[in-house]
Amino acid sequence: MAPHTPPHMSPAQAAQVANVSRWAIMRAINSHKLKAKRDNRNHWKVSPDDLDRWCAHSVRIAHPAHPDESPELREKLASETARADAAERARDQAESDRDKWRGMAEKLAEKPRRGWWWR
């Protein structure tokens, strides 16, 4: 921990030091993965040593922000882009077919009906 770390921290302060959310600290406290005590006002207090131990075992490194930094993300992006392109081509084809069928239906509706067998 940093040299200016207080002897006991609130969950919000511990979250700020560990660079996680306060809810992550509270989940760790409630699941007994992070040791914490309550003070006289029933507020949680976390010691810096316990926070260090929890961080060493629980806090994960964030994913890279840019997809080019990770080959797995780059492959996933490429496959999803190809899938989206294929879906767009299929949609365009379906719209084209729909327009052709609509045109045929309109032409058939315009023709006069002659020579029906039941007349």
Residue 50 to residue 8: CA distance in whole angstroms? 10
In a shared domain, residues 71 and 104: yes
Residue 115 belongs to a domain? no
Is position 50 within any domain?
yes
Domain co-membership, 50 together with 26: yes
Domain count, the chain: 2
Q: What is the mean pLDDT of residues 39-53?
A: 91
pLDDT above 80 (res 112): no
If one counts every other C-beta atom within 10 angstroms of the C-beta of residue 25, the result is 26
Residue 23 corresponds to which tokens in the numbers above? 């809810």
Are both 16 and 54 inside the same structural domain?
yes
| pTM listed for this prediction | 0.47
Q: How far apart are CA 108 and CA 98, in angstroms?
A: 15
Range of the domain at 27: 11-58
118 in any annotated domain: no
Confidence tier at 3 by pLDDT (50, 70, 90): low
Residues 50 and 80 in one domain: no
